[in-house]
């Protein structure tokens, strides 16, 4: 009998959206509408924030800029403890496929790519296909733009959807969990 999927909500952050030419940057930004950063309002959604970090080499990322940083997913460890336990308990990590999925849906966004073509790209990528539940993604129609900062102070404007939803399947004990 199939189990009910576990729904988690989180924020995707990436230090690329903070001015890399500064020696010290704040963790929280005051402006709303920024991409890949947390605001005090966003942080108010958490009881106990936990960070799922991308462990890939930044140069292996496929995004709309030259990457030198890696994203993280911030979830509430109290509300989504089952997800945290499941990810931490994996014998074989799924982080490569998971973060490639996030990059493809958020940071490699291209307005000219159809839903069907994007779906085909997701299932064709071996790492993503290992965790992604086919035909499960939906993307916000609202697109926002923000700057990505290089360490030399140069900026690149990128556009991303305000949210995406998707399903993944991960091993959990002798079964899988969606």
Parse the chain into domains and list their residue ranges: 10-177
Contacts of 24 (CB under 8 A, 6+ apart): none
**Rounded to whole angstroms, how far apart are CA atoms 21 and 14?**
15
Triad 163, 166, 167: Cα angle to 5°: 150
pLDDT at 127: 95
C-alpha count within 13 angstroms, C-beta hemisphere, residue 113:
16
- pLDDT for the residue numbered 145: 93
Which pTM does this prediction carry?
0.91
pLDDT at 31: 64
Per-residue pLDDT tens, the chain, 178 aa: give them: 356 788 899 999 998 988 777 777 666 666 656 788 887 887 888 899 999 999 999 999 999 999 999 999 999 999 999 889 888 888 788 999 999 999 999 999 999 999 999 999 999 999 999 999 999 999 999 999 999 998 888 899 999 999 999 999 988 777 788 8
């Amino acid at each position: 009998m199939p189990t009910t999927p576990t729904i988690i909500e989180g924020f995707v952050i990436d230090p690329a959206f903070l001015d890399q030419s500064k020696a010290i940057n704040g963790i929280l930004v005051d402006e709303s509408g920024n991409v890949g950063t947390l605001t005090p309002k966003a942080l108010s959604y958490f009881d106990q924030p936990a960070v799922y970090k991308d462990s890939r080499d930044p140069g292996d990322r496929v995004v709309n800029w030259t990457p030198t940083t890696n994203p993280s997913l911030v979830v509430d460890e109290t509300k989504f403890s089952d997800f945290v336990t499941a990810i931490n308990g994996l014998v074989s990590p799924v982080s490569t496929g998971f973060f490639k999925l996030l990059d493809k849906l958020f940071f490699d966004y291209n307005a000219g790519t159809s839903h069907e073509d994007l779906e085909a790209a997701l299932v064709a990528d071996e790492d993503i296909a290992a965790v992604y539940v086919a035909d499960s993604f939906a993307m916000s129609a609202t697109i926002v733009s923000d700057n990505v900062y290089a360490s030399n102070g140069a900026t690149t404007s990128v556009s991303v959807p305000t949210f995406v939803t998707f399903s993944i399947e991960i091993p959990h004990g002798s079964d899988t969990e969606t």
